[in-house]
Structures are given as structure tokens and as C-alpha cells.
Amino acid sequence: MSSPEANKALVSHFIEEVYNRRNLDAADELLAPNYVSRDELTGEEASREDLKRAIAEQAASSSDLPFSIVEQIAEGEKVVTRNIGSGTHDLEAYEGLDPSGTRITIENVTISRVVEGKIVEERVVSDSSPLWQQRMEQERIERERFEQELLVARRIQHALLPNAVPALAGWDIVPYYQPAREVGGDFYDFLTVQGGRVGLVIGDVKGIPAAVLMASTQSVLRAVTQSGGSLPGQVLAEANEILCTHIPPNSSSPASTPYSTHRAGT
């Protein structure tokens, strides 16, 4: 049976060789074939090969992630070690987080059991809260960017709507527009056609991709109307031909686009 000091030296050598020097072959020399590591928080277990893969993933995420032993005590077969690793997350993704160039800190408290010069078992408690704080910060930034994009999309969408309504004899027109979500694709428009008539077109679509399509549909309808289209059927047929030619087959399409004309009044 090895002494507590020898066991401490073995565990320290393992941390230096495997974690700091990234010599994974040393794990085969210092860990027993039946080695098992237990995470005391999650209850998950890892074999020697599992641990080597986890250390390799951790090392691949940072160009500098050294671990320093802060405290270490030993009694009999057991060695308790508290070590802290600090480095820059600048290489590959780690724990679902893309590299951001920020400093990360990982603190481990490990109880190692050493038998005949090999580490046979470890019970580990890790504090990786800085990683989760980093993830939360990234999610916050992404959410703010998405909300900003939605705000811009909503402003563009509202800009497509008519600023005024035409005067039609016998008609009182009061438009009201309220999307169910931040951005919708529904729209309405008034189109001036030949013979002093006004066309009313209403689009009903669902979702942001369809809203983009509806903006194109509105532009095409205006262009067709200005080029001389007067009858609703003629305008819709010409617009449909243009849209079908240039829109990918799997794109969303307006659910309905009713179109009618009325003679303008004063």
C-alpha cells in the first residue's frame, strides 16, 4: 500500500500530464483499466476512455487552459484535490458554446482513490457556472438581435401599407391592421386602375417567410396595374404568372388575395 504522500504525488502528476500537458497516453498509465469517475451533482459515470474524450474536448476549446492545484489532502487510499483551471475559450465549441474569446474558469473538487499506484475511482464536483453565464450572455445577445430584426421587419411591413384611403362614393373606409404576432404577412392596398377606378386588394398569409413573399406580391400587383391592367382577373392572372416564374417551388404563397374595383368619387 502506497503512502498518502505518494498518492498525492500521483494525483498531482496526473493533473499536470493529462490536463496541462494534454498527454492523454499518460491516462492509460495512471488510471486503472476499470477506472470510473462519478459526477456527484448529476450522477453520471465516466470510464477511462470517456474521461480522455472529455479532456480532449476541453483542451480543443482553448489554447491555454492550465489547471492549478489550490488545496490537496490525503488519508489512506484517498486524495482530495481542489484545482482551478482558467483559460481563453478561443478555439472550438465547448459544452454547446461557440468560441467567444472570453476567459472561462472551471473549479473541480475531486476525491481520488489510489490502489497499487493507479487511480481506480474519482468522485467529482465541478463548478462551471462561468460557462453557463457565458451561454446566457450569448443567448441574451442573440435574443436582442432577433428582437431588433423583428422590429425592423415590422417597420418595413407597416411602411408597405397605404398612408391614406381613397374617397369612394357611398363608401366609408376605415382600415384597421393588427398582426397576431410581431410580424405578420397580411396586407391591404388600394390600386388605381384605368377608367378612374380604384382596386382593393387584401392578402392573407401566415408567418415571416410568407410576409416576405407578400411584399413581392404587392410590388408585382402595383407594377401590373400601372402597366395597363384593369380587370381584376387580368391583373391577378398577370401577377400570378410573374410570381410563379421567379418564386421557388417550396416557398409559401398567399392564402388568399381577393381583388375588386370600384369607381372613385369625390
pLDDT, one tens digit for every residue, the chain (266 residues): 789 999 999 999 999 999 999 999 999 999 999 999 999 988 999 999 999 999 999 889 998 889 999 999 999 999 999 999 998 889 998 877 788 788 888 899 999 999 999 999 999 999 877 666 766 777 788 888 888 877 777 777 777 788 888 887 788 888 887 776 666 667 788 887 766 678 788 777 665 666 667 777 778 888 888 776 567 777 778 888 887 776 666 655 454 455 555 555 54
CATH of the domain at 219: 3.60.40.10
Q: Say what the pLDDT of residue 203 is.
A: 74
Q: Say what the pLDDT of residue 33 is.
A: 96
Q: What is the Cα 241 distance to its own chain's centre? A: 37
| Same structural domain, 21 and 96 | yes
| Same structural domain, 85 and 203 | no
**CA neighbor of 86 nearest in space, from 131, 46, 118:** 131
**CA neighbor of 54 nearest in space, from 77, 35, 73, 71:** 35
In a domain, 64, yes or no: yes
Q: Say what the pLDDT of residue 185 is.
A: 61
Q: Say what the pLDDT of residue 219 is.
A: 82
* Burial class (CB within 10 angstroms; exposed 0-12, middle 13-18, buried 19+) of 201: buried
| Same structural domain, 203 and 105 | no
In a domain, 149, yes or no: no
| Same structural domain, 8 and 131 | yes
| Same structural domain, 118 and 201 | no
Task: Report if pTM > 0.85.
Answer: no
Q: Say what the pLDDT of residue 195 is.
A: 67
In a domain, 153, yes or no: no
Q: Say what the pLDDT of residue 197 is.
A: 76
In a domain, 133, yes or no: yes
Q: How many domains are there within the chain? A: 2
263's enclosing H/E stretch is: strand 259-263
| Same structural domain, 68 and 166 | no
CATH of the domain at 129: 3.10.450.50
| Same structural domain, 21 and 131 | yes
Sheet holding 45-47, edge to edge: 45-47, 31-39, 118-127, 103-115, 78-88, 67-75
Q: Say what the pLDDT of residue 27 is.
A: 96
- Please tell me the distance from the alpha carbon of residue 33 to that of residue 137, in angstroms, as a whole number: 40
Amino acid 192 reads T
| Same structural domain, 10 and 135 | yes
- In which domain, by residue range, is 251 found? 162-263
In a domain, 147, yes or no: no
140, 172, 199: which is the final residue of a domain?
140
φ/ψ (deg, to 5) at 240: -65, -40
In a domain, 146, yes or no: no
51's enclosing H/E stretch is: helix 48-60
Contact at 8 Å (CB) between 114 and 8? Answer: no
In a domain, 114, yes or no: yes
| Same structural domain, 32 and 133 | yes
| Same structural domain, 190 and 83 | no
140, 171, 195: which is the final residue of a domain?
140
| Same structural domain, 35 and 113 | yes
In a domain, 59, yes or no: yes
| Same structural domain, 215 and 133 | no
105, 140, 175: which is the final residue of a domain?
140
Treating both helix axes as pointing N-terminal to C-terminal, what angle do 129-159 and 208-226 enclose, rounded to 10 degrees?
20
Cell of 252: 409559401
